[in-house]
Amino acid sequence: MVVNASEESINRIGIVLADTTLPMKERFRALFTLKNMGGNLAIENIAKCFIDDSCLLKHELAYCLGQMRDEYAIPYLVQVLKDEKQEPMVRHEAAEALGAIGKEDVIPILEEYKNDPVIELAETCQLALGRLVLPKSEANVENIYGSVDPAPPSQIKSLEELEKILNDENETLFNRYKAMFSLRDIASPESIIILSKALSRGSALFKHEIAFVLGQLQSPLSVQYLKESLIDETQNDMVRHECAEALGAIATVECYDILKQYLSDQKVVVKESCEVALDMCEYENCPDFQYADTLEKITS
């Protein structure tokens, strides 16, 4: 969705996004407002914030640039991918975004990092490369969530077969992701439980994507599983962060109570994720609440 707005308005929203004195939830709303606007100036305002101290915000910047699918963002994402000073969670998201944009020009840079010692980055580059060699009809398949996914859904419809592929660590990660997105799209209670149980196995990258799709599904059936991973301090930060955001999307009273308990978590990325997730809880429970509302705020 591209929203018409003046250059002044876009830059003012960019100022909100870059303002480190504001609560993270306000900056996130500014980010998603810019994402909805689209265009070069919105991308420039998003990319300026890759110097921020917040790993969570930078991760989300990269995610939004990928979802915008605008090749103007490619140089910014390549720079983040190459920057070893950036957190693995941020570099991984930059690689995923390059795959989402879908330009074959980025294949050499992804090839360069597909065996990186940072496992989350290596796995993401492998997935992105798998996506880029797909026929466009398969790579660009749409889903009801409106997301650009790292892999298309599998053509297999048997829950038993999909569960077997999903949990088979000898299978390629790309095929496991295809099974994951197929189970998401089936969206039955059985498929949701299969996905929820998979939160307890696999790499950090795999588990973080499971949490992401559970957030898309917004089913209370997954709350207990997401809670277990969120409270488990031995889990990778990217897994705990994604579990928090998924709970925010599900937005039941139980989710709200769980998230409040971790607003002071020792891991900053988890703490900030809970803050943003609580804001999402309010959005999901208020029919009049527009989430990406920064344009309205700065012009009112």
Residue ranges of the annotated binding site for Fe cation are 59-60, 92-93, 208-209, 241-242
Output b/e per residue, 196-209; b: 16+ Cβ within 10 A: bebbeebbbbbbbb
Written as one string, the DSSP assignment of 64-91 is HHHHHT-GGGHHHHHHHHH-TTS-HHHH
Q: Note the residue count of the chain.
A: 300
Q: What does the alpha-carbon distance between residue 42 and residue 57 come to, in Å, rounded to a whole number?
A: 16
Q: What does the alpha-carbon distance between residue 179 and residue 195 come to, in Å, rounded to a whole number?
A: 10
Annotated binding residues, as ranges?
59-60, 92-93, 208-209, 241-242
Q: What does the alpha-carbon distance between residue 141 and residue 136 come to, in Å, rounded to a whole number?
A: 8
Within 10 angstroms of residue 157's Cβ, the number of other Cβ atoms is 11
